[in-house]
Amino acid sequence: MHAIRFGTDGWRAIVAEEFTMENVRIVAQAIACYTKEIGQQEQPLIVGHDTRFLGRRFAEEVGKVLSANGIRTYLLNEAAPTPAVAFGVKHFAASGAVMITASHNPPEYNGIKYIPEYAGPATPAITKKLEAWIARIAESGEVRTISLEEAKAQKRLQIIVLRPHYEAHLRRMVKMDVLRRSSLHVVVDAMHGAGIGYVSGLLREAGVRTVGIRECIDAAFGGDLPEPNDKHLALLKQEVLNQKATMGLANDGDADRFGVVDEQGRYIPANDVLVLLTYHLVKNRKLTGRIVRTVATTHLLDKMAKVYGLELIETPVGFKYIGEQMLRGDVLIGGEESGGASILGHIPEKDGVLINMLIAELCAWEGKSISEIRRDIHEQFGERFSTRLDLPLTSQEGLLQRIMDAEPQLIGPFAVQQIQSKDGRKLLLEDGHWVLIRPSGTEPLVRIYCEATTQQALEKIKEAIRDWFLDIRVSV
C-alpha cells in the first residue's frame, strides 16, 4: 500500500487505485483513534460528501467505522459544500468532521478532508498525528466496522439535515435587503458540484433574476475539471454574454472556491476578487480588522491596508495558515490567490458560496458593474498585474535545490531589494514588483508567481525568468 499522506488540504487519490474502501476505512479508524486520543469521543463527528463518484458510499463506510468505535456519527442526508460541513461542526458542537471530497481535482479522484473542532483546515500538527495513526493501523490491520443498520439501531449513527442551518447563517452574513432592492441579473455555474442550488437559490429568494447552469449532479463534471478558473469557465463566460447578465458566479466541486465573471464575460482573477471584497467591507460595510493574505497573493491588499490604516499579515501558502489567524480574532478578510476566502464573523474556512453572495451584494450596494467598481479601485489604489509560470521538475536532479539556493541581484532590469524565505523564495524588486518561487505541494512542479505595477514590467519580468531558467538548461 502507498503511504497515505495529507497534503495542503487533505488526502486525495485516484478511485480504485489508492482511494479504495479499505484505505478509507483505515483513515476513518485513524480519525476515530485521534478523536479518542484528544478526549473528544463524547462529542459527535459529522460526515459529509460532495457529488463525486461513490461519495455517498465512502461517507457511509466512514460512518460505519466511527460508529463501531463508539463515536456518535452525524451523516449528512445529501451532498454538501465543504464550508457547510465546516459550519456544521460549530452549529452541532461536534468534535470535528470528515468530508469526502477531492475539491477541484479531476473526476477520477476522491479524497478526505478532516475538519477539527474549530471548523477550519487541519493544522500540520494534526495531520502529522493522523498520518502516524494511519501507519500503525495499516500495519496492524485493526479496523473496527459495523453495518449501517446496526449503527442506527444502536443510535450511534444518525442522518441529519444541515442545509437549512447553513443557509440561515448565510442570510445573516449577507445583506439580503440590499439584494432585494437591486436590478441584478446573475448567471450561476455550480460546475455539477456540491454547491448546486446554494448561490442560485439564495439569490432567487432575494428576488434577484438568476439563471443556473451545470446544476445537475454529474460525477464526471461534464468531462471538464470542476475548477472555477479562466480555462474552465468558458461556458459561464458565454452564458453571461448570451443573457446580457450583470455577472457570472461559480464554485468548484466542493464549493469552497469561488469564480467570478464580469458583465463583459471576462474572468476576474481571485486576486482582484479579494481586492473587491476588501473595498466593499471597508467602504460600504464600515468594518475593520486585519487583512490576511498568503505569500502568493496580490500586494494591492498591502496598499489598501496602508490607506485604510489596517494591519496586514502575510502567511505561507495554504488556507490553514489563514484559518490560524482567524482563530486569533479580528480578521476582516483572509484570502489566497487560488480562490479561497473568508471574512469576519464566519468560520475559519474558505467559503465560495459566501464570497459569491458578497460579490453580488457589492454590485447591488454600489449600483455599478464589476468593471466600473474595479476602475474606481484602480483610480484610488493603483493596479497590479500578475501571472504564474509552472516549471516541471521531472528528471531534473538537483534542479530544485539550485533554484532555491539562487540569489539573483537582478530580475530583468529590476534590482532585487530583499529575499524572503517564509514559503519558498520571494524576491522583492524595486518599484513594488515581486517574484515568488515555490515548489508545488501536489505536483512535481516549481511554481513562479510574478506581480508588477504595469503590464510592461510584468512582461519584462516573465522574459527574465525564462532567460534565468534557460541559463540552468531548463525552459519554463
Q: Are residues 132 and 189 in the same domain?
A: no
- Tell me the pLDDT band of 442, cut-offs 50, 70 and 90: low
In this prediction the pTM is 0.95
Can you give the pLDDT at residue 1? 56
Give the range among 126-135, 139-148, 299-308, 433-442 with minimum mean pLDDT. Answer: 433-442
Are residues 374 and 420 located together in one domain of the fold?
Answer: no
Report the number of distinct structural domains present in the chain: 3
Q: Is residue 186 part of a domain?
A: yes
Indicate if 330 and 401 belong to the same structural domain: no
Q: Side-chain half-sphere of 442: how many Cα atoms within 13 Å?
A: 13
In a domain? residue 307: yes
Whether pLDDT at 366 is above 70: yes
Cβ atoms of residues 442 and 6 within 8 Å: no
Mean pLDDT of 32-43: 97
Q: Is the pLDDT of residue 222 over 50?
A: yes
Q: Quick one: 121 and 187 in the same domain? A: no
- Quick: pLDDT tens for 311-326: 999 999 999 999 999 9
- Same-domain check for residues 326 and 185: yes
d(CA 240, CA 55): 31
* Lowest mean per-residue pLDDT among 170-174, 203-207, 469-473: 469-473
Q: What is the DSSP letter of 406?
A: -
Domain end: 163, 187, 208, which one? 163
Boundary (domain end) residue, out of 314, 347, 381: 381
Q: pLDDT category, 476, cuts 50, 70, 90?
A: very low
For 411-439, b/e burial (b = at least 16 CB within 10 A) is: bbebebeeeeeebbbbbbbeebbbbbbbb
Structural domain includes residue 43? yes
- Residue ending a domain, choose from 381, 414, 437: 381
What does the pLDDT look like over 426-439, one tens digit per residue? 999 999 999 999 98
Q: Are 10 and 442 in contact (CB under 8 A)?
A: no
Tell me which amino acid residue 265 is: G
In a domain, 6, yes or no: no
pLDDT average, residue stretch 27-44: 97
pLDDT > 70: percent of the chain: 97
* Percentage of the chain exceeding pLDDT 90: 89
pLDDT, tens only, 77-112: 999 999 999 999 999 999 999 999 999 999 999 999
CATH number of domain containing 143: 3.40.120.10
Amino acid identity at 142:
E
pLDDT grade for 440, boundaries at 50, 70 and 90: confident
Mean pLDDT to the nearest integer, 364-381: 98
Task: Mark whether 126 and 193 lie in a shared domain.
Answer: no
Q: Which three-class secondary structure string do you get for 278-298?
A: HHHHHHCCCCCCEEEEECCCC
Q: Which amino acid is at 458?
A: L
Band of residue 276 on the pLDDT scale cut at 50, 70, 90: very high
Please check the confidence at residue 395 and state whether its pLDDT lies above 70: no
Give yes or no: residues 99 and 23 share one domain: yes
Task: Give the neighbor-by-neighbor strand order of the sheet with 258-261.
Answer: 209-213, 185-189, 247-251, 258-261, 267-268
CATH number at residue 411: 3.30.310.50
Tell me which residue range forms the domain holding 111. Answer: 11-163
Q: What is the pLDDT of residues 149-172, one digit of tens each?
A: 999 999 999 999 999 999 999 999
Note whether residue 140 is domain-resident: yes
Which residues are within 8 A (CB) of 203 and not within 5 positions of it... i.e. 6 or more apart?
179, 184, 186, 188, 210, 357, 360
| 375 and 405 both lie in a single domain | no
The pLDDT of residue 322: 97
Question: What count of other Cβ atoms lies within 10 Å of the Cβ of residue 290?
Answer: 19
Question: Looking at residues 193-204, what average pLDDT do you find?
Answer: 98
Would residue 219 count as lying in a domain?
A: yes
201 domain residue, yes or no: yes
Instruction: Categorize the per-residue pLDDT at 475 as very low, low, confident or very high, splitting at 50, 70 and 90.
Output: very low
| Weakest mean pLDDT among 15-29, 30-44, 345-359, 398-412 | 398-412
| pLDDT higher than 70, residue 46 | yes
Same domain membership, residue 416 and residue 367: no
In this structure, the answer to whether residues 195 and 143 fall within a common structural domain is no
Q: Which three cell numbers stand for residue 339?
A: 480562490
Predicted local distance difference test score (pLDDT) of residue 77: 98
- Asked if the model's pLDDT at residue 259 lies above 90, the reply is yes
476 by Cβ neighbours in 10 Å (0-12 / 13-18 / 19+) ranks as middle
Examine the domain organization and report whether 311 and 390 are in the same domain: no
Q: Angle between the 352-366 and 163-173 helix axes, to the nearest 10 degrees?
A: 30
Q: Is residue 2 part of a domain?
A: no
Residue 397 has pLDDT above 60, yes or no: no
CB 277 within 8 A of CB 351: no
Residues 385/458, Cβ–Cβ less than 8 Å: yes
Same domain for 284 and 297: yes
Question: What H or E segment, with its residue span, contains residue 415?
Answer: strand 414-420
Q: Which of 13, 25, 194 is nearest to 109 (CA)?
A: 13
**Whole-angstrom Cα distance, residue 300 to residue 162?**
37
Cβ(215)–Cβ(200) under 8 Å?
Answer: yes
Report whether 36 contacts 26 (CB < 8 A). Answer: no
pLDDT at 98: 98
**Which single residue is written with the C-alpha cell 461542526?**
89
